[in-house]
Amino acid sequence: MWLRPRPSRPSQTATRTGQGTLIESPPRRVGARRLSAAMNAHFPFPDFESFAAPLEAWRNIQLPAEAWARLQQSYLEQATALWNHSLQAQGEAAPKLGDRRFANAAWSEDAGAQFLAQLYLLNARTMSEMADALEGDAKTKARIQFAVQQMVDAAAPSNYLALNPEAQRLALDTQGQSIAKGLQLLWADVRKGKLSQTDDSAFEVGRNVATSVGSVVYENDFFQLIEYAPLTPKVHERPFLIVPPCINKFYILDLQPENSLIRYAVENGHRTFVVSWRNPDASCAHWTWDDLIENAPIQALSVVRAITKAQQVNTLGFCVGGTILATALAVLAARGEHPAASLTLLTTLLDFEHTGVLDIFVDEASVRLREATIGASAPKGPALLKGAELAQTFSFLRPNDLVWNYVVSNYLKGEAPPAFDLLYWNGDSTNMSGPLYCWYLRHTYLQNELKVPGRLTVCGEPVDLGRIDCPVYIYGSREDHIVPWEAAYASTQLLRGGPSRSVRFVLGASGHIAGVINPAAKNKRSHWVNAEASFPAQAPQWLATATEVPGSWWRNWSAWLAEQGGALKTAPRQVGSKAYPALEPAPGRYVKQPA
C-alpha cells in the first residue's frame, strides 16, 4: 500500500497546502464517467452519479497534515512489524486473524496466505482511518467512507481463487470438481441475473412460505386484500389491518407459522386483514404517490370497515408501509374522517432528518436525474424502477454478509447455497413506478417535508400528521441500518396519540428484519421500555431512563393492541361478506408475480 502523496502536478487530484492535504475530485483520477458507470450498477438508490457531483463538495474535503503524518507513521510501523514477524515466526503457531473470512485453517497453515491476509487487514484499517480523518461536509465524507468500505470489502484476498488457499485446497481435494461446480453456479446466476443467496427451488409461496389460512376478499389494480381465518372462538370487535412495505412482498410477516406476526395476531383474537401489493409492470409505470394512497390504504380501510361493519380499525404499518399508512390517515383526517382506532408503526420513517446510510445516495442532482429518466416528466415517459436494482442496493449495504460471502461459497468453492426462507423472501424483489418513487425521494429523503404540517398536499388534502387521532405504538430496532432507531423514535414528536395522548415507544434488539420478526414463543433478545409518559426531543435521553426487558417486544405490543381491540365477540364462520366474498385462497395471485 502506497501512502505517501506524489509530487503535486496540475493533473493530479491531491495537492499539499499549508493546512493539510486537499482531496480534490477523486473522479478526475479514475475518470468520473467510469467511476459512476461502474458503481451505479451496484448502488441505484437513487444513482451513483450523486457520488461524483457536485464536484465542489469533493474539492472541499481535506485530510489534515497532522492526520496524514500520523497515519503514515502508524502504517509504516505496523507494516514493518508485520514483515519482521513473518520472517521470524517460521514454524510458530499462527495467531488468530480475528476475521471470519480468514477463519479456515488453510489461512493460518500457509505462511504466505497468512501474511497476505494480515497485510490486507492492515491496509483495510488504514484506508478506513484515512476516510474517518477527512474534514469537510458530513454528507460528502460519508460518501467517501462508504465508497472506501465497498472497495476494501471487494479487495479481500478471500474473494479471489488465486489468493484463497481454502478454495485452492478444496479444488485439489475434489480434483477440480469444486471449480467445475462453481462455474455451473456462476452460469446459472448469470442466466437468472442475480447472485443466489439461497436455494430458490426449495420454496413456493403458498406452499411452505406464506401459509396462513385465509382468502383474498377484495382486489383492484394496486393491491389484494387478504382476510385470515380466525383461530380463536372469539375475536375482538375491532378488526386489524396490516400495511406492509410496497418495496417488498408482504410474507416477511408470514414466513413460517412459528415466526409469523400475522398468525400471532390471529392467534390473539384479532380479525386480521393484510394488504398484498401488486408487483408493478410496465402498465403501472404512471402510478403516482397520490394514486397509491387513494387506491390502496384508504380503499383498504373502507373495505375492511364495510366487511366487518366496524366504525374503526386497528392499523399497523411496517417500514415504508408505515409511511404510506400514516400519510393516508393524515389525508383522511383532513377530510374529517378518523377510521383508525390505533396505529402501530414498525421501523418507520416519518421524520427523514436522519436516514442512516441511505442518505448518502440522495441529493438534488441524483433526484433530478431519476426524475428525468423514470419520472412523470421523463422525455420517454415514466418508467419502472426495477426490483433488481433495489435488491442490489440493499445487499451492498452489507456486502460481506450478502454479496462476497456468496461469491466465495458459490463460485470459488462450488457450494450451492442452502435453503433459507428469509433469504428467499429477500430475493423475491418488487418493482416501483418511477413517478411514485421520485415523489417519495424528493419529498421525504431529500426535502423532509412529510413532518411539516401542511407542507405537502396529497390526494388534494394538506397533510398534517399531528391530526391523526388515535393511540400510537412506535417500534424501532436498535441495530437497524435502514431506519436508525433514533429516526423511528422521532415519530414520537409528530404523533400526538389522540385526545388521550397515548403514545408508546418500544426499542427492540437486532436489526431491521430480525428485530421485528422476533417471535414471542422463542423468548430471544430483549427490548427497552420507559415508564415516563413524556418523550424528550432526543432519543438518547429516552434510552437513558429506559428499562431493558428480556424477550420479544411482541408480548408488550400484543397486550397494548388487546386494549385497543374492544370487546370480544363470536368469530365469523367465514371470511369476507356478501358484498365482498372470497375470491381466491391466500396468499393470492399478486404476491406470486415476479418482478
- Distance separating alpha carbons of residues 523 and 566, to the nearest angstrom: 27
Catalytic residue among 284, 319, 459, 470: 319
Q: Is residue 327 part of a domain?
A: yes
- Distance separating alpha carbons of residues 595 and 593, to the nearest angstrom: 7
Task: Please tell me the predicted confidence (pLDDT) of residue 499.
Answer: 85
Buried b / exposed e over 333-366, threshold 16 CB at 10 Å, is: bbeeebbbbbbbbbbbbbbbeebbbbbbbbbeeb
Q: Is residue 361 part of a domain?
A: no
* 153 alpha carbon, distance to own chain's centre: 19
Task: Please tell me the predicted confidence (pLDDT) of residue 389.
Answer: 85
Same domain, 229 and 137: no
How confident is the model over 313-372, as pLDDT tens digits?
999 999 999 999 999 999 999 999 999 999 999 999 999 999 988 888 899 999 999 999
Task: Please tell me the predicted confidence (pLDDT) of residue 20.
Answer: 35
Task: Please tell me the predicted confidence (pLDDT) of residue 39.
Answer: 33
- Distance separating alpha carbons of residues 282 and 269, to the nearest angstrom: 40
Task: Please tell me the predicted confidence (pLDDT) of residue 44.
Answer: 37
Q: Is residue 23 part of a domain?
A: yes
- Distance separating alpha carbons of residues 231 and 414, to the nearest angstrom: 45
Q: Is residue 408 part of a domain?
A: no
Task: Please tell me the predicted confidence (pLDDT) of residue 58.
Answer: 63
Q: Is residue 125 part of a domain?
A: yes
Same domain, 129 and 244: no
Among 156, 171, 200, the domain-final residue is 156
Question: What would the mean pLDDT of 546-550 be, rounded to a whole number?
Answer: 96
Query: Does 13 score more than 70 pLDDT?
Result: no
Same domain, 243 and 142: no
Same domain, 222 and 150: no
- Distance separating alpha carbons of residues 421 and 383, to the nearest angstrom: 31
Q: Is residue 437 part of a domain?
A: no
- Distance separating alpha carbons of residues 149 and 481, to the nearest angstrom: 15
32 is in which domain, residue-wise?
A: 17-156
What three-state secondary structure class fits 340? strand
Same domain, 331 and 472: yes
- Distance separating alpha carbons of residues 515 and 127, to the nearest angstrom: 32
How confident is the model over 463-495, as pLDDT tens digits?
999 999 999 999 999 999 999 999 999 999 999
Same domain, 137 and 227: no
Same domain, 134 and 255: no
Report yes or no: 579 and 308 within 8 Å, Cβ to Cβ. Answer: no
Same domain, 236 and 145: no
Count structural domains, the chain: 2
The 10 Å Cβ neighbour count of residue 405 is: 18
Question: What would the mean pLDDT of 514-540 be, rounded to a whole number?
Answer: 92
Among 124, 156, 188, the domain-final residue is 156
What three-state secondary structure class fits 59? helix
Q: Do you find a cis peptide bond into 54, omega within 30 degrees of 0?
A: yes
Same domain, 138 and 268: no
Same domain, 152 and 225: no
- Distance separating alpha carbons of residues 485 and 515, to the nearest angstrom: 11
Q: Is residue 476 part of a domain?
A: yes
Same domain, 254 and 113: no
CATH number where 230 lies: 3.40.50.1820
Same domain, 148 and 246: no
Q: Is residue 59 part of a domain?
A: yes
Assess whether 319 carries a catalytic annotation.
yes
Q: What is the C-alpha R_g of the chain?
A: 26
> Three cell numbers at 502?
397515548
How confident is the model over 270-327, as pLDDT tens digits?
999 999 999 999 999 999 999 999 999 999 999 999 999 999 999 999 999 999 999 9
For 212, list phi and psi in degrees, rounded to 5: -60, 140
pTM here? Answer: 0.87
> Three cell numbers at 483?
431506519
DSSP per residue, 165-232: HHHHHHHHHTTTHHHHHHHHHHHHHHHHTS---S-GGG--BTTTBS---EEEEEE-SSEEEEEEPPSS
Among 114, 140, 156, the domain-final residue is 156
Q: Any long-range contacts for 144-151 (C-beta under 8 Å, 24+ apart)?
A: 144/26, 144/61, 146/357, 146/360, 147/39, 147/51, 150/39, 150/42, 150/396, 150/399, 151/127
